[in-house]
Amino acid sequence: MTEQQPVTILGAGLAGSLMAILLARRSIPVRILERRTDPRKHQLSAGRSINLALADRGIHALKIAGVYDAILPLLTPMPGRMLHDVNGQTQFAAYGQQAHEVIYSVSRPGLNEMLLNHAEQLPNVELHFEQACTAIDFVTRHLHIAGRDELHEHTEPFTQLIAADGAQSIVRRTLHDACNAQITDELLPHGYKELTLPSNHGQHQLQRNALHIWPRGGFMLIGLPNLDGSFTLTLFLAFNSSEPDQPSFASLQDAASIEYFFKQHFADVLQLMPGLAEQFLSHPVGKMVTVRSSTWTNGRNAVLIGDAAHAMVPFHGQGMNCAFEDCIELDALLQQHEFGIACERYQQQRLPNANAIADMALENYIEMRDTVRDPKFALQKQLSFELERRLPDRFIPRYSMVMFHYEIPYAVAYERGRIQTQILNELTAGVMHIDQIDLHQAVELVMNRLAPIASRHAHASSG
Ligand code: FAD
């Protein structure tokens, strides 16, 4: 009997480490190659203390991989948004209307380390750090690897390659040339900067159980809670602006302009953050990109997962959730088909969904930084919840379909969301209050335009 060749996974980030666990649990040997040093042995650099929103799709995948219980202690529930206006007034808006409709703040390094620890404990997983892939040959099935220094440059054979090497994926670029793939790479003209709002002797300085948003029209600040009492704040802002009165990262280059900017727009935050300007100046500005590729596999020996296949902007909090969903769908297909066919089916199944969530993520930037301030937004949300209560098998708010219903594919959420928006616009035209809406007509409209949908929570809703 010949020994089973390991599956090679490139990248030990969130997708790579979860994929390794899924395969290894089925006794498939896995060899992971990662460019970075082992994150469990090194401190993060300043400004990289990112936390992420984990939602239903990610949770479902973590449960399938058998690691969710271990991750539970890392989670802080966020049942809704806390909106901060320029005067420092706050307003809480729940994301959903059922107790389980909650998203969770989780430390990205904490989650990654937990997944790596799980992977490492499985007998058939080999983890190799400081192994940067610099080229791939799909014909001879070799990876060129640069190690710590020139002495460690070598080639590695592979039989089957799962590329989880992130938004700048070298495997995607090589597939592009080998398969004549169509790739679009759309850089957002806005960047982001992460800042830490420290704890007050271990206590959170803002309401702990919420995702905080300071929407300011053209830009916004958001804050997610950490377990140690701090918040990770992220400022999303244009890199440059042609209008002198419009702020941009380019206009915030010294302590005076930074403090003035925060005083004008986020005065409540400024008073909680001594040393804000210093922190601001020492942290990098990140870029956000939407990558769409027509080809995620060569149909033989290589396939892309996670950001390598479909990097998206972070405004729906779905990049990681979608990456985890990739892992469970690919793993399920690998249980039914040989590698090449499974990868082809995975691409067919996932690509329309990845494109749909990439579009919804772009749309959500406008909603988070601007539309949430509009009274019409609150009215439509109230009406959505009312329609969901009356017709739980037909009308589920789009945000809820994406965040709380893993059984509804992204593409279906996108399409039904489009119809729902039309219905809501029609019903709220010229209306200020929900009492002015004929709810019987509203129900009829929904019955006529939306077919029932199989939702695993529909039965739990009641009038
Ligand atoms: P990565 O996490 O980028 O991992 C790729 C790994 O591959 C890295 O370890 C890298 O070192 C390694 N690698 C790269 N190139 C090579 C090479 N040549 N050789 C070897 N190794 C290599 N998602 C959410 O679900 N919720 C959120 O709230 C959320 N918020 C976000 C906020 C911001 C500001 C940003 C930027 C992203 C956010 N995301 C969020 C998206 C999420 O971070 C990504 O979708 C997720 O990290 C993708 O995981 P991945 O494993 O595919 O890629």
> Over pLDDT 90: what percentage of the chain?
89
pLDDT of 405 higher than 80: yes
Residue 44 φ/ψ, nearest 5 degrees: -70, 150
Nearest to 97 by CA among 453, 378, 385: 385
Whether residue 318 has its Cβ less than 6 Å from ligand 1: yes
Task: Report the range of poorest mean pLDDT among 175-179, 300-304, 306-310.
Answer: 175-179
Ligand 1 centroid, distance to 394 Cα (angstroms): 34
Whether residue 11 has its Cβ less than 6 Å from ligand 1: yes
Residue 284's pLDDT is: 96
* Nearest CA, atom 2, ligand 1: 13
Residue 460's pLDDT is: 43
Whether residue 53 has its Cβ less than 6 Å from ligand 1: yes
Ligand 1 centroid, distance to 326 Cα (angstroms): 14
Residue 455's pLDDT is: 73
Whether residue 323 has its Cβ less than 6 Å from ligand 1: yes
Whether residue 164 has its Cβ less than 6 Å from ligand 1: yes
Confidence bin at 44 (pLDDT 50/70/90): low
Confidence bin at 38 (pLDDT 50/70/90): very high
Q: Which residues pair with 291 in a beta bridge?
A: 185
Count Cα neighbours of 331 within 13 Å in the Cβ-side half-sphere. Answer: 23
Pocket-testing residue among 8, 52, 74, 287, ligand 1, by greatest number of atoms within 8 A of Cβ: 52
Concatenating the DSSP letter of every residue in 248-276 gives -GGG--SHHHHHHHHHHH-HHHHTT-TTH
* Nearest CA, atom 8, ligand 1: 13
Q: What is the mean pLDDT of residues 421-431?
A: 96
Nearest to 119 by CA among 70, 176, 156, 58: 70
Ligand 1 centroid, distance to 315 Cα (angstroms): 15
For the chain, the average pLDDT equals 94
Ligand 1 centroid, distance to 110 Cα (angstroms): 14
Residue 306 CA: which ligand 1 atom is closest?
A: 52
Give the Cβ contact number of residue 37 at 10 Å.
11
Q: List pLDDT tens digits, range 169-217.
A: 999 999 998 888 899 999 999 999 999 999 999 999 999 999 999 999 9
Q: List pLDDT tens digits, range 328-350.
A: 999 999 999 999 999 999 999 99
Confidence bin at 49 (pLDDT 50/70/90): low
Ligand 1 centroid, distance to 409 Cα (angstroms): 22
Confidence bin at 463 (pLDDT 50/70/90): very low
Whether residue 192 has its Cβ less than 6 Å from ligand 1: yes
Ligand 1 centroid, distance to 167 Cα (angstroms): 7
Ligand 1 centroid, distance to 72 Cα (angstroms): 21
Cα separation values, 280 from 220, 277, 417, Å: 15, 5, 38
Pocket-testing residue among 320, 350, 404, 410, ligand 1, by greatest number of atoms within 8 A of Cβ: 320
Whether residue 233 has its Cβ less than 6 Å from ligand 1: no
Q: What is the mean pLDDT of residues 227-247?
A: 93
Q: What is the mean pLDDT of residues 17-33?
A: 98
Residue 243's pLDDT is: 84
Confidence bin at 2 (pLDDT 50/70/90): low
Cα separation values, 439 from 189, 387, 388, 394, Å: 42, 8, 12, 15
Whether residue 56 has its Cβ less than 6 Å from ligand 1: no
Ligand 1 centroid, distance to 13 Cα (angstroms): 6
d(CA 196, CA 230): 7
- First CA to last CA distance, the chain: 62
Concatenating the DSSP letter of every residue in 135-167 gives EEETTTTEEEEE-SSGGG-EEEE-SEEEE---T
